[in-house]
Amino acid sequence: MQQGWESEAQNWAHFARMPGGDMSHELTNKPVLLEVLPPPGRATLDLACGEGRLTRLLRSLGHQVVGVDGSPTMARLAATHEDRSTVLLANGGQLPFADGAFDLVVAYMCLQDFDDMPGAVTEIARVLEAAGRLCLAIPHPINSAGSFEGKDPGAAFVISGSYMEPARLSDVVERDGVRLTFHGEHRPLVAYTRALEQAGLLIEALREVTPPDSEAERQPKERRWQRVPIFLHLRAVKPR
């Protein structure tokens, strides 16, 4: 999956930086992230920062933030943006930081794209200080397990395969003439909670996210996602 995202880096940057290109981020995901995000502290890590949009948001909120990404092109795009964020090329399973280097790690819409998700969560716990927090967001596992039979608000949501079994995903979208393939893996919720448990992190907040009414009014087909959660946000803490 890491190589898949390297191949899509330029397309992703176009998608993420295009005004109105990712309204799900702007109208649905970002407000919930801001709700669960702790205030700025000593040091924040933006894990799998991509082209840097979340790194820039965190900096604007006052966080002392470092971004890391395993894609050379993504890391270069993030580091060469006009705000000159600090970004390192690094594998999420082997982070180049000392134990307890951060009081906050943000893993925003990325853990579903890690080949070794439990290993990445273990590394997150290692670089967090005691009482440090992890904020993560992923496509809700019910979302990645099935699909609606149509686009009308009352369309049935069907899981035709297995919710419990992991499955590689390859979703294609097109915006402004640019075709982007999302590379990821469906995993059940228990895969993530077990990874947190094994890493010694405790869940303290969880949100099942649906589009707001404003988004459903703008795109009536989105009303179906007000019945089934589309994203999941979670905040976990490393015990003292």
On whether the pTM is more than 0.75, the answer is: yes
Q: Kindly list the domain boundaries of the chain, sorted by start residue.
A: 2-237
CATH class of segment(s) 2-237 = alpha beta
CA-nearest of 26, 3, 30 to 15 is: 26
Q: Is the pLDDT of residue 223 over 60?
A: yes
pLDDT tens digits, 154-176 = 999 999 999 999 999 888 888 77
**Cβ atoms of residues 29 and 215 within 8 Å:** no
Q: Is the pLDDT of residue 84 over 70?
A: no
Phi, psi of 98 (to 5 degrees): -70, 160
For 66-88, what is the mean pLDDT? Answer: 86
Q: What is the DSSP letter of 112?
A: G
Q: Is the pLDDT of residue 2 over 80?
A: no
CA distances from 186 to 21, 110, 140, 144, 171 (A): 24, 12, 9, 6, 12
